Structure 1
Amino acid sequence: MGSERRFAAINTKIRVLKSKLLTKKDYINLIKKDKVKDQISYLKENTVYKDVLEDTGDTENIQEVETQLKKYLIYQYEKLIPYFTGEYRKLFKSILLRFEIEDLKLYLRALGRKEDLNKIKKATLLKESYSNINFDKLSKSKNLEEFIENLKGTLYYNVLKPYSKEEYKRILYYMEMNLDRLYFNLLKAQSLKLDKKDSLLFGEILGKNIDLLNIEWIYRGIKFYNLSSEELINYTLSNGYEFNYEAIKEMCYSKEERLIEIVLSTRYNFLFDTEKDVDLYMERRIERYLYYQFINAFKKGKLDITLSIAYMHLLEYEIRDIISILEAKKYDLSLMETKEYLVRKIEGSDE
C-alpha cells in the first residue's frame, strides 16, 4: 500500500484530534485556579478529558487523576491502531508495550515495599486484550523469584531471570533499566519492517530519543552516582541517531567537564548551553526539544508515519504538563514558577 493511501485517512483523523489539545488559554486558566480541586473541575468542564475524569468525583488525588489521564492516552493509541495494517499495526502495538512495562515496574516497586499486589492490579494501565501478562497470576507472587517465574512465557522472563536470586534493593534499578532496553530494542526491530521511508523516519525519532536518554544517564551517573565507566556503558541504549558505540564509549569514559564539551559540539548542546540550572531542568529540556520536533512534523504535514507518532507524543507531553500544573498548585508555586516546569513553552501571563 502506498503512503498516500495508508496515511490520508489517519492524518485527517490526527489533525482533528490535535485540534482538541489544550490551548495556551487553557494552560493559563488551569495555572490560575486557586486549588487543585478547581483545576480538576476545569479539566472536567472544559476539555476532552471530561469523560475519563468523570468517575474521579470530587477527588484532589493527583495520582488518581494521572492514572485516568494515562488511560486516556492509551485509549487514543487504541483508536489509531485499526487505521493500520500489517507491520505498521504491529509497530503501534509494540509502542503500547511501554505501558505494560510501566505496569511491571509498579509491581516490582510494590514487591520491594511488601505491599499487597492485588491492590496494584487496580492501577495497571493496559487492557488485557493488548497485554502479554496474566496480572491475576502475577498478583499472587510472594517474592521476587516467584514473581519472575510467573512471567515465564512472556517477553520479560529472560530479561529478569538473572536477577531472581539477587538482593532486591540492589537490583531494582537494573531490572527497570533492562526492561527499558528491551522496549527500545523491540521498537527498533519492528521499525525495520516498515517501508524504507517510514523506517528511516521512525528510526530518526527513536534515535534522537535514545541519544538524549543516554546523555542524561551518563551525565547523572558520573555526577551523582559515581558509577564506573563499564557500568555506564552496560546500561546505555543502542540504536541512537547521532552517537555510535565509540562515541558513547568516549562519553562513558569521560569526566564531567569533558562530557559537557562533547555534548556542546552536537545538536544537543541546548542541554548545557544555558544559564539555568542544568540538573533541575535537564529532563524538561529533553522533553521540550522533542516536543518542538513533533510540532514541526505537523507544520510539514507529510503523508508518512510522523504525524501519528507526533500526535501521541504531544498528547503525552500535555498530560505530563497537566500533572505538573496540579503538583505546582499543591506546593503553591506561582504562575511564573509553574511555567518553568512545563514541557510546552507558555509565553506571557494573559493577565
Structure 2
Amino acid sequence: MGTLLSYSGLSTKIRAMQSRLMTEKQYQEIAQMESVTQVVAYLKRQPGFAKLWADLDESSLHRGEIEKLLTHTIHQNFAKIYRFANPSQRTFMDLYFKRYEIAVMKDCLRKIFDGSGDGLDLSLFQDFFDKHSKLNLEKLTKSATVEEFVSNLKGTEYYAPLSRIGQEYHPLLFDYGMALDQYYFANIWRMKDKLFKKRDLEEIIKAYGNKFDMLNLQWIYRSKKYYHMAPADIYALLSPVRYKLSTKEITELVEAVDEEEFRRVLDTTAYKKHYPELTPDKLEEYYNFSMRTILETEARKYPHSVIMIYSYFYHKEHEVDRLTTAIECIRYGLAPAETLEYIHRN
C-alpha cells in the first residue's frame, strides 16, 4: 500500500504528460511541411509545447537554437516531475540525470576536438543545471583544450575516470565519450542495490540489464565488422555489466573469427531465444525494440514503480530525437515519405 500511495500522484502526473507526446499522425503532418519555420509554428500549437514555446518567434530561430530548445523541453519536463516527486523517487531521477550531464560534456569535448574555436552556448540550460548538477557549465564550455576541460571537472565524480585517459597514448573523442558512458553504466549497476528495493529494484535490473547487454552486443559486432578491432581493444569498450549474457558468451562473441561465427554464438544467447528473428545486422533495431517493449510493458504492469518514470523519459527523449531528425530532413528538402522513414528509424 505504501508504494501505491507514494506513486499514485506521480503516476497520474506522468500519464497526463505522456498524453501530450507526439503521435504518429502528428509526425505524418510534420513530414509534409516545407520549412523549419512551419514545424516550429506547428509545435507551438501542440499541447506538449504550447506553454513552453508560447513566446518564441519561429521566424527568428536558426537550426542550432531550435535543437537546443527541443533538448531543453526534456529538462523542463524533468524539472516538473522532480518537483512532484518524493525523496525516494528523486533518488532515481538524480541517478538518471547524469545522462544529461554526460551529454553536455560530450558536446563540450566535441567542440574542443573539432578545433573550430566557436563558443558553445549552453546558457539556456544554466538554471536547470544549477539546480541539479555540480558541473560548472561556463568553465566547461570555455575550455580550449582537453587538459583544461578535465581540470575544470575537479571536484566532480567525472574527474577521476577522465583524468586517467591519455597517460600512455593519444586518445580520441571516442575514448572520452566511451569512458563517460562506461562510468555511467557501471555506477548505475553498482548503486542499484543500495538505492532501490523490491519492485523498483526488479524493474531497474530488468530495464538496465537488458540495455547494457544489447549495447555490448552492438559494440562487439560494430567493432569487428566496421573497425576490424583486435579482441583486446574490444574488451576495453564494453560495459562491465553482465545480465543475461554470460562472461563465456561475451568472450566467444569477441573472439569470433568472422561474422558467421559471431552469428552462431549469438544464436545461443537468451536474446536470440526471446527474439527469434534477431540477426547481427539487426542488433540496433532490436535494441530499440526491446527497450521500448520492456519499458511500455512494465510501465503498464507496474504503474506505481520507478519504471513509470524511466519509461516517460525514454519516450520524451525519443520524441526530441525524432523531431530533430524531421527538422534536419525538411531543412535539406527531403520528400515527405523519406522524411517519415528517417523519423521511424529513431
TM interval, short-chain normalised: 0.7 to 0.9
Counterpart residue number, 1:35: 35
Distance 1:153 1:65, change over 3 A: same
> Residues 217 and 283 of structure 2 are in contact (CA less than 8 Å); yes or no, is this contact kept in structure 1?
no
Paired AA for residue 46 in structure 2 = N
* Secondary structure, aligned partner of 1:163: coil
Shift in Å at residue 297 of structure 1?
A: 3.1
Counterpart residue number, 2:184: 183
Corresponding position: 1:263 with 2:270: no
Paired AA for residue 129 in structure 2 = K
Corresponding position: 1:200 with 2:208: no
Distance 1:59 1:256 in 2: 50
Query: Runs of 5+ in structure 2 lacking a partner?
Result: none
* Secondary structure, aligned partner of 1:119: coil
Shift in Å at residue 162 of structure 1?
A: 1.9
Shift in Å at residue 218 of structure 1?
A: 0.8
Cα deviation 1:170-221 (Å, max 9, x = unaligned): 4321111010011112222332221122112111101111112111111110
Shift in Å at residue 282 of structure 1?
A: 5.3
Counterpart residue number, 1:89: 90
Give 1:321-336 correspondences, 5 Å limit.
321-336=322-337
Counterpart residue number, 2:160: 158
Distance 1:101 1:271 in 2: 31
Counterpart residue number, 1:349: none
Shift in Å at residue 123 of structure 1?
A: 6.6
Paired AA for residue 220 in structure 1 = R
Distance 2:253 2:62 in 1: 41
Give 1:1-351 correspondences, 5 Å limit.
2-53=2-53, 54-55=55-56, 57-59=58-60, 61-116=62-117, 118-122=119-123, 126-163=128-165, 170-192=171-193, 193-254=195-256, 255-266=258-269, 268-269=271-272, 273=277, 283-343=284-344
Cα deviation 1:230-279 (Å, max 9, x = unaligned): 1111111122431132222221111322222333444544999479xx76
Distance 2:200 2:115 in 1: 45
Distance 1:199 1:127 in 2: 27
Distance 2:339 2:189 in 1: 36
Distance 2:270 2:22 in 1: 29
Distance 2:105 2:298 in 1: 32
Please, what TM-score do these two structures have when normalized by structure 2? 0.87
Worse overlay, 288-297 or 201-210: 288-297
Distance 1:35 1:120 in 2: 25
Shift in Å at residue 306 of structure 1?
A: 1.5
Distance 1:187 1:84, change over 3 A: farther
Paired AA for residue 7 in structure 1 = Y
> Residues 153 and 159 of structure 2 are in contact (CA less than 8 Å); yes or no, is this contact kept in structure 1?
yes
Please, what TM-score do these two structures have when normalized by structure 1? 0.86
Paired AA for residue 151 in structure 1 = L
Distance 1:80 1:124 in 2: 17
Paired AA for residue 263 in structure 2 = I
Paired AA for residue 261 in structure 1 = R
Shift in Å at residue 48 of structure 1?
A: 1.5
Worse overlay, 182-191 or 110-119: 110-119
> Residues 163 and 171 of structure 1 are in contact (CA less than 8 Å); yes or no, is this contact kept in structure 2?
no
Distance 1:202 1:37, change over 3 A: same
- Aligned-residue sequence identity (percent) comes to 24
Shift in Å at residue 344 of structure 1?
A: 7.8
Paired AA for residue 103 in structure 2 = E
Distance 1:194 1:30 in 2: 41
> Residues 31 and 336 of structure 2 are in contact (CA less than 8 Å); yes or no, is this contact kept in structure 1?
yes
> Residues 177 and 235 of structure 1 are in contact (CA less than 8 Å); yes or no, is this contact kept in structure 2?
yes
Worse overlay, 120-129 or 100-109: 120-129
Shift in Å at residue 35 of structure 1?
A: 2.4
Shift in Å at residue 61 of structure 1?
A: 3.5
> Residues 294 and 314 of structure 1 are in contact (CA less than 8 Å); yes or no, is this contact kept in structure 2?
no
Distance 1:273 1:6, change over 3 A: same
Distance 1:47 1:85, change over 3 A: closer
> Residues 245 and 269 of structure 2 are in contact (CA less than 8 Å); yes or no, is this contact kept in structure 1?
no
Worse overlay, 195-204 or 185-194: 185-194
Please report the RMSD computed on the Cα atoms of aligned residues, expressed in angstroms.
Answer: 2.8
* Secondary structure, aligned partner of 1:153: coil
